[in-house]
């Protein structure tokens, strides 16, 4: 049998070797050029929207504490309790993220009020540790804070207003904000208004999903009329956080919708838009809701800075609701 000869016109082995070397170098360089993003709390409500909306050419990693839920393609999931101080630095050293969006938190205000120790460890301790690791690794940190850092006596808060907490959760967030901002001028503290929407990937803390399910079951739902917010839909929020990860903004920014509304009115408008019974929505006052930690009255946020800095549009309640319901 005649020996087969690999014949490629115009190519010899030396050329092929050079070509393969070129591709290896190109892959190595692209490793540095492609944005590497790590999203903590990847099972959560806000993280789900970030992970679902990231540009497909980014290298995206999610970090969750409990068992991973199989989700979006192209996302590498890591399972770790961030309280594990030994393992967290090693994980970041192996991922080498350019940016970390830190959504992981103990976000249940009432739980934090009666479990102060663990709330402090998770909300403040983990954030401080992450700040130090990101600083060492040269990664930018984007921290998700809250409108409730304010005491609610004024409303339409801007980034220059001074926070003053009325509950323990808010005090853990204020301490974390200070850690993040003092750890680096490229770091971001994004104060989120009440987040409205349905979970996109994973689960999480969605009052809308809860309310829809109760109304559909014919159950009454109570909403405090004294709590005034500027709700932001979860899709817009995810996009805004992604944009912040991709640009060079550093500092404080308020991410909030354009509609300032009390929570009772908000629930009625949502029920109306979704064709659900408004009759089951009952007006109450924060002080009459037993077992609840104190809440600030009016923590509506002024979103002028976000509208100036970001190309992601901030939406009205009606537009945000439509966006999240049709996603």
Ligand X SMILES: NC(=O)c1ccc[n+]([C@@H]2O[C@H](COP(=O)([O-])OP(=O)(O)OC[C@H]3O[C@@H](n4cnc5c(N)ncnc54)[C@H](OP(=O)(O)O)[C@@H]3O)[C@@H](O)[C@H]2O)c1
Query: Counting contacts by CB under 6 A, is residue 66 touching ligand X?
Result: yes
Query: Counting contacts by CB under 6 A, is residue 107 touching ligand X?
Result: yes
The whole-angstrom distance between residue 276's C-alpha and the CA centroid of its chain comes to: 29
Structure tokens at 194: 């009440």
Query: Counting contacts by CB under 6 A, is residue 81 touching ligand X?
Result: yes
Query: Counting contacts by CB under 6 A, is residue 163 touching ligand X?
Result: no
Binding mask 18-57 for ligand X (x = CB under 6 A): -----------------------x-xxxxx----------
Q: How far is the CB of 17 from ligand X (least distance, A)?
A: 46
Which residues 113-142 are close enough to bind ligand X by CB under 6 A? 122
For ligand X, the closer of residues 31 and 210 by Cβ is: 210
Which residues 203-232 are close enough to bind ligand X by CB under 6 A? 204-205
* Whether the Cβ atoms of residue 79 and residue 101 lie closer than 8 Å to each other: no
Binding mask 168-197 for ligand X (x = CB under 6 A): ------------------------x-xx--
Of how many residues is the chain composed?
327
Cβ atoms < 10 Å from Cβ of 118 = 13
Dist. CA 251–CA 184, nearest whole Å: 9
* Full strand arrangement of the beta sheet holding 59-64: 75-79, 59-64, 36-40, 99-102, 140-146, 188-192, 251-255
Nearest to 219 by CA among 286, 265, 290, 279: 279
The whole-angstrom distance between residue 97's C-alpha and the CA centroid of its chain comes to: 16
Choices 81-89, 264-272, 274-282, 290-298; region in contact with ligand X by CB under 6 A: 81-89
For ligand X, the closer of residues 104 and 317 by Cβ is: 104
For ligand X, the closer of residues 126 and 215 by Cβ is: 126
| Cβ-closest position to ligand X | 44
Q: How far is the CB of 83 from ligand X (least distance, A)?
A: 5
Query: Counting contacts by CB under 6 A, is residue 65 touching ligand X?
Result: yes
Dist. CA 298–CA 147, nearest whole Å: 10
Contacts of 215 (CB under 8 A, 6+ apart): 221, 271, 276, 277, 280, 281
**Contact with ligand X (CB under 6 A) among 97, 100, 101, 103:** 103
Dist. CA 152–CA 262, nearest whole Å: 12
The residues of the shown chain that bind ligand X, judged by CB under 6 A, are 41, 43-47, 64-66, 81-83, 103-107, 122, 144, 146, 192, 194-195, 204-205
């Amino acid at each position: 049998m005649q020996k087969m000869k690999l014949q490629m016109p115009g190519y010899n082995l030396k050329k092929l070797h050079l070509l393969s070397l070129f591709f290896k170098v190109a892959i190595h360089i692209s490793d540095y050029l492609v944005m590497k993003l790590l999203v903590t709390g990847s099972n959560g409500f806000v993280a789900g929207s970030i992970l679902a909306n990231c540009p497909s050419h980014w290298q995206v990693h999610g970090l969750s504490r409990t068992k991973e839920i199989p989700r979006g393609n192209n996302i590498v999931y890591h399972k770790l309790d961030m309280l594990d101080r030994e393992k967290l630095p090693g994980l970041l050293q192996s991922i080498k993220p350019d940016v970390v969006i830190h959504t992981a938190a103990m976000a249940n205000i009432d739980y934090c009020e009666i479990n102060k120790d663990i709330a402090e460890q998770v909300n403040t301790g983990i954030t401080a540790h992450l700040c130090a690791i990101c600083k060492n690794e040269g990664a930018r940190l984007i921290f998700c804070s809250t409108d409730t850092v304010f005491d609610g006596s004024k409303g339409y808060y801007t980034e220059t207003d001074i926070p003053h907490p009325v509950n323990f959760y808010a005090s853990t967030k204020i301490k974390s904000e200070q850690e993040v901002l003092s750890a680096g001028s490229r770091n971001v503290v994004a104060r989120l208004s009440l987040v409205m929407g349905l979970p996109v990937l994973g689960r999480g803390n969605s009052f809308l999903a809860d309310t829809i399910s109760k109304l559909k079951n014919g159950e009454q739902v109570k909403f405090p009329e004294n709590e005034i917010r500027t709700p932001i839909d979860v899709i817009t929020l995810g996009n805004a956080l992604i944009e912040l990860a991709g640009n060079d903004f550093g500092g404080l920014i308020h991410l909030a919708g354009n509609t300032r509304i009390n929570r009772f009115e908000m629930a009625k408008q949502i029920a109306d838009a979704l064709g659900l019974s408004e009759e089951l929505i009952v007006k109450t006052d924060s002080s009459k809701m037993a077992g609840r930690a104190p809440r600030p009255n009016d923590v509506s946020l002024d979103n002028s800075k976000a509208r100036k800095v970001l190309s992601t549009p901030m939406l009205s309640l009606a537009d945000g609701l439509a966006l999240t319901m049709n996603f």
